[in-house]
Amino acid sequence: MRQAVLYMRMSTDKQENSIASQERVLREYAAKNGYKITDSYIDEGLSGRVAEKRPAFMRMVENSGKDLFDTVLVYDSSRFARNLEESIVYKSMLKRNGVALVSITEPTLDDDSALITDAMLGALNEMHSRKLSKAVKRGMVDKARQGKFQTPPPFGYTKENGKLIPIPEEAKTIRLLFSLFVEAQSWYGVAVKLNDMRAAKRNAYGWYARDVKRILHNPVYIGNLRYDGEVYKGEHEPIVDMEMWGEVQSIIEKKPKSKTRPASTYKHWLSGMMRCAYCGGKMHHIIDRRSNAFYRCCSNTNGCCKYMNCLGIRKLESAVKQALEMVVEDKNLAVYAHFTKRKENDQLDTLNASLKKIQAKLERHKAAYSSGVDTLEEYKENKEKCIKDEKAVLEQINALLDTNVNDEKIIQLKQSAKNLIDILFFTEQTIEQKSNAIKAVIDKIVLDKYKGTFDLYYFL
């Protein structure tokens, strides 16, 4: 008996073909045609446009090479993929692994006919997906223009018959939040005051600076709504008057763009500097029951990092001082010092994302050639283009991360390290002043408690 698995997918565009409905007819087909079902792979509420965003699908493709099954049953080809390129590539991968793909609502053809039919069906599915996406977006824009709110209600409102209705207690907190910001002019300061006052909040957690910032930027509280970057007039009752909104937005526009909380709130001048060598996550300042202060990997306390990477404050301070003294005294910094360039993080993230896409595309071209979909000439042409694009992106990334050290930079760094030693250890300075001083010279400090390494990354 043939060993088969079921692959089922449902996005919000076709509710009549629910997972339960697909499974029922697939199992009926399997029973009638002599298939033994060994497993099911389900992607629920996910689009078929991009395979890498469907975890069950990718698991199924990976397992196809483990001799666990010889057939994949799907309701129709659109459940498998709605992107022509990916449809051909992944069908070819299954074929190479000796696994047949059977669509129970579409005819089974010989190899030559199937190749043409697959390409046509793939193209039609992709066209349908794109048309559907445009139609859905157009419908949502039309609703937004009519003032209809289409997402779950934000804090301060509930939803009745599709319309936002203010919740008195939460609306009171929203107005308080706006008033407090006019006084404090700080997201963090407002969050602290709201927590001190035990102000109402929808979930069990306290107020964070990011909560305050998000609310103060949301035009829903003056009776408008935002969709796809555009602001439209809503049909709901505002909670905040225009005068208060205008005053708050004026303050926000004048605020310096900062992603971190004020240094004046730090418990120690190393706050925000420490990183775990194992997970790359931040290390937080902690004081235990015996009043011992130390830094510990935050991801470890949350169960995300298996290494309890931590070190006491006094040992950390001593290690920083020793490292800075080595910079001042040692001529060959490249042996032990690490350098980093001040960079635009958003630009680097964009480049890394582009690099990942190019590399994934190259792998798909390789798979297409290996399975006989592409000729050697086509593969060479596609490979050369990908390599050229990859080289261009890597050059841009390397330019951002350039850490070439010259004599002039070393002299500047030595002077900066000497001044930093005085500020941190030999003069009376506040935690805020020390924090600002170290962040002007050092990007981050990476700790590995188990290997006994303590690495400082200096700005060039």
**334, pLDDT greater than 80:** no
Percent of the chain with pLDDT over 90: 30
Residues contacting 421, CB < 8 A, separation 6+: 321, 324, 325, 328
**241, pLDDT greater than 50:** yes
**What is the third-level CATH fold of 157-254?**
Hect, E3 ligase catalytic domain fold (3.90.1750)
The CA-based angle 344-348-349, given to 5 degrees, is 115
Cα separation, 162 vs 145, in Å, equals 15
Nearest to 245 by CA among 182, 338, 172: 182
Cα separation, 211 vs 190, in Å, equals 10
Neighbour tally for 231: CB within 10 Å = 13
Task: pLDDT band for 128, please (50, 70, 90 cuts).
Answer: low
| DSSP per position, 151-179 | SPPPTTEEEETTEEEE-HHHHHHHHHHHH
The answer to whether 26 touches 40, Cβ cutoff 8 Å, is no
Task: pLDDT band for 344, please (50, 70, 90 cuts).
Answer: very low
Task: pLDDT band for 256, please (50, 70, 90 cuts).
Answer: low
pTM, entire model: 0.40
pLDDT tens string 1-32: 789 999 988 865 445 567 888 899 999 999 99
Q: Please state which of the ranges 67-81, 346-360, 404-418 shows the lowest mean pLDDT.
A: 346-360
**216, pLDDT greater than 50:** yes
Backbone angles phi, psi at 43, to 5 degrees: -115, 105
**113, pLDDT greater than 60:** no
Cα separation, 142 vs 435, in Å, equals 50
pLDDT tens string 141-192: 666 566 566 667 889 999 888 788 999 999 999 999 999 999 988 888 888 8
The CATH homologous superfamily of the domain defined by 2-136: Resolvase, N-terminal catalytic domain (3.40.50.1390)
More confident residue, 361 or 319: 319
Task: pLDDT band for 279, please (50, 70, 90 cuts).
Answer: confident
Q: Which residues of 236-268 are buried (b: 16+ CB within 10 A; e: fewer)?
A: bebbbeeebbeebeeeeeeeeeeeebebebbeb
